[in-house]
Structure 1
Amino acid sequence: MSTPVLFIHGLWLHATSWEPWIELFGEAGYSPTAPGWPGDADTVEAANAHPESVADHGIDDVVDHFAALIAALPERPIVIGHSFGGMIAQKLLGQDHAVAAVAIDAAQIKGVLPLPLSALRATLPVFKNPANRRRAVTLTSEQFRFAFGNAIAEEESESLYQQWSIPAPGKPLYEAAAANFNPHSPAKVATDNQSRGPLLLITGGKDNTVPESVTRATLKQYRHSSAVTDILDFPDRGHSLTIDGGWRDVADASMNWLRAQGF
């Protein structure tokens, strides 16, 4: 039986943005799927037409949603997540819902202290209005360029924006921002789990939304676990690294690491 692989998107990207990865992993013998978040519409067009359907969904909602999907699978999957999907992947791995995880430019978990200025600017469209905690927020193409497409040509950034960008709930960002002041924060990950499967953290050196310093601080949070925790740096890549013209490099590196771990 082929190993299931569950792809988890982050804020502002639709689940169908994983389609090239699904094709690649399927051809390699895995059984890949990319379900949406709670409330996600089936298409980018429908998601943009009905932003209210994703509003007010927080981190725990998303984790519970994917945990329920995993429970229906024939075996525990590999989880691969990008941005907030990378945080969700880490939480699922820490809760032993997955056999391994790849977290790509993963959102800040509880305990991570660096808050670079570029990350603040990338998330300003949400934080500029406190009411956005309960709303869905849509990025403009200029905001998408700074948050996702800063390391690629402007034309490619605009194309990716038109193809994949959807509204995102503001609540997860507010939860992550307050994580270090909340002992019961949903952004807390079981980083001390000794028996969990292996984890690969991937960082883009030019990422404005989740700068490399955040990912390296995340790695330090796992220092109390003897389970495999690796990090891989793509120095010239931004937050769009899973969907832009260089996606295959990241996908191949992820698959090679998984095979090295025996999956």
Structure 2
Amino acid sequence: MTIDESDQNGEGMQMNTHSVRSTVVETTVAGFPALHGAPGSKTEKPPILFLHGAFADHFTFERWVGAFADLGYETFAPARRGRAGVGPDRAAGLDFDDYVDDTRAVLATLDQPPIIVGHSLGALIAQRLAAQGAARSIVLLAPAPPAMLTAQAVALPKFGPQMPKIMAGRPFVVGNNACSVLALNRVPADARPPIHARLTHESGKVYRALMFGTVRVDASKVAVPVFVAGGTDDRIISTALTRKTAKHYGVQAHIYPDHGHWIVDEPGTDAVIRDVADWLASHWS
């Protein structure tokens, strides 16, 4: 796989090369900054759309965009409003439906419904889109549930000071320490600074909706295959919540030992990618 930055010098960074040589570039899709993975040869496989979580951006899925392009899928990981230079500033005033609309704008640029892979808040967006008939299948990683997001005890001291902003629906951002303790507890300390550097403000209205479970998804309208995964050490989405989401769609959750909320890019994530790839191959080979 080769990663190229879409800047003026055209220089790229060489990554691991697999059996199929793919290319990942920074681009823009429907007005949103995005990563695009192009497989090394023509493919009949459906495209994959990767949706990042709260406080994050499209680079969350850089590892996955390349890995699945190597496997012959055309891949896209877009940002949403409120980050990566796309207004409103600090996601002020945005609600959950705005994020769904942003993703539908990206979907409109594709020539067929994609497989949608979502992490955390992105997984809840994926669920809503599947219920709207916009996905070919969905993969939910550490998924925000279509129900109340119950805080774990370890999270209370970190989110407590943010409650006035959340309740008022005002933008807020988690600090580096809170991010490390809650989301990156299974990420090596020396790998955390680049993630911290990309933290962005999240909409308080959206987070309030997650906390109180006002975002609902009618499981009877999700008529596509569903894969649900979480980690035993996730301090944001508990194992119980992950299993509850899986049960909502009539499937078994895949629970990975020694993984936290950043299951998308931790030591051992390659095994998660392989499992997702095998599951997709069973449906779209």
Shorter-chain TM-score category? 0.7 to 0.9
In structure 1, the partner of 2:10 is: none
2:143 corresponds to which of 106, 118, 131: 106
CA distance in 2, matches of 1:199, 1:122: 32
TM-score using structure 1 length: 0.82
1:10 paired with 2:10, answer no
CA distance in 1, matches of 2:256, 2:60: 20
The structure with higher relative contact order (CA 8 Å, sep 6+) is: 1
Q: Amino acid of the residue matched to residue 218 of structure 1?
A: T
2:91 corresponds to which of 48, 54, 63: 54
Alpha-carbon shift at residue 147 of structure 1 (Å): 1.8
Alpha-carbon shift at residue 159 of structure 1 (Å): 4.3
In the alignment of these two chains, the number of paired residues is 242
Gap regions ≥5 residues in structure 1: 180-184, 224-228
Q: Amino acid of the residue matched to residue 149 of structure 1?
A: L
In structure 1, the partner of 2:178 is: 143
C-alpha spacing 1:143/1:82, structure 2 compared with 1 (3 Å):
same
| 1:79-228 alignment, distance < 5 Å | 79-110=116-147, 115-121=151-157, 123-124=159-160, 126-130=162-166, 133-135=169-171, 137-162=172-197, 164-179=198-213, 185=214, 187-193=215-221, 196-223=223-250
Alpha-carbon shift at residue 143 of structure 1 (Å): 0.7
CA distance in 2, matches of 1:258, 1:143: 34
Alpha-carbon shift at residue 178 of structure 1 (Å): 2.3
2:275 corresponds to which of 250, 253, 256: 253
C-alpha spacing 1:5/1:130, structure 2 compared with 1 (3 Å):
closer
CA distance in 1, matches of 2:107, 2:156: 33
Cα deviation, 1:54-92, whole Å, max 9, x if unaligned, reads 222211111122123213311000000001001111111
C-alpha spacing 1:262/1:178, structure 2 compared with 1 (3 Å):
same
CA contact (8 A) 1:82 1:106 kept: yes
TM-score using structure 2 length: 0.77
C-alpha spacing 1:73/1:51, structure 2 compared with 1 (3 Å):
closer
Alpha-carbon shift at residue 234 of structure 1 (Å): 0.8
In structure 2, the partner of 1:226 is: none
C-alpha spacing 1:130/1:75, structure 2 compared with 1 (3 Å):
closer
Alpha-carbon shift at residue 103 of structure 1 (Å): 0.6
| 1:24-39 alignment, distance < 5 Å | 24-39=67-82
Alpha-carbon shift at residue 176 of structure 1 (Å): 1.9
SS at match of 2:110: coil
C-alpha spacing 1:77/1:36, structure 2 compared with 1 (3 Å):
same
Gap regions ≥5 residues in structure 2: 1-43
The structure number with the bigger radius of gyration is: 2
C-alpha spacing 1:39/1:85, structure 2 compared with 1 (3 Å):
same
Percent identity, aligned pairs only, is 26
Q: Amino acid of the residue matched to residue 127 of structure 1?
A: M
| 1:226-245 alignment, distance < 5 Å | 229-245=251-267
SS at match of 2:254: strand
Alpha-carbon shift at residue 161 of structure 1 (Å): 1.9
CA contact (8 A) 1:5 1:30 kept: yes
CA contact (8 A) 1:22 1:32 kept: yes
Cα deviation, 1:140-178, whole Å, max 9, x if unaligned, reads 11011112111233333344323x322222221101222
SS at match of 1:149: coil
CA contact (8 A) 1:219 1:231 kept: yes
SS at match of 2:258: coil
CA distance in 1, matches of 2:167, 2:203: 11
